[in-house]
Amino acid sequence: MDLHQLWYVVATILVVVGLIGTVLPALPGVPLLFCGLLLAAWTDGFAHVGAFTLFVLGVLTVIAIGIDFIAGVLGAKKVGASRYAVIGAALGTLLGLFFGLPGLLLGPFVGALVGELVAGGTLRKATGVGVGAWLGFLLGAVAKLAICFAMLGLFAFAFFT
C-alpha cells in the first residue's frame, strides 16, 4: 500500500467514525466527517472536490454543530418552557457533554426540568418541559444525521463527476 492509498484509508476511517459520532454523542461526529472528506479531497489534489464544495461542506458542518446546541432549547421553548427551563436545557446539554452518552441523553431533560422547577413550575409542567427538551435533542440528532448524509452525497457527486 502506498502513501496515497493510506491517506484514503485514513479519510475513510474518519468518515466512518464521524458517522458513528453523529449517533453516539461522545464523539465529535460531524467535524470528524468533515475532516475525512477534506483529507480525501486533499489526497486527490483537489482535482474533483474544489473550494466551493468544501465551503458548502464547511457551512453544513457549522449548521450541524449549531443544531447540537439549540435543538434541546427549541424543544423546551415549543412546549412553553420558562426562561429558566430554556437556560437549564442549554446548560444540561453542555454539561451532558462531560458525561458521555447518558449525559447527552439526559442532560437536556434534567436541565429543563430543574430550570422549570426553579421558575416555580409544577412537577407535571416541569416534566413536560423536560420531555420537550429531550424530543428537541432527538430531532436535532436526526437532523444532524440527515446533514451528514447530504454532505456525503455532495462530496460523492463532486468527486465522481
Lowest-confidence region among 13-17, 123-127, 152-156: 123-127
CA distance 148 to 99: 24
The pLDDT of residue 117 is 92
Domain extent listing, the chain = 3-160
- What pLDDT does residue 26 have? 65
Q: What is the pLDDT of residue 101?
A: 74
Amino acid at 19: L
Percent of the chain with pLDDT over 90: 47
pTM of the model: 0.77
Which letter does DSSP use for residue 99 in this model? G
Q: Give me the chain's average pLDDT, please.
A: 89
Tell me how far apart the alpha carbons of residues 142 and 22 are, in angstroms, rounded to a whole number: 9
Query: Are 109 and 130 in contact, with CB atoms under 8 Å apart?
Result: yes
pLDDT tens, residue by residue, 22-52? 877 667 899 999 999 999 999 999 999 999 9
**122-145 confidence digits (pLDDT tens):** 888 888 888 888 888 888 889 999
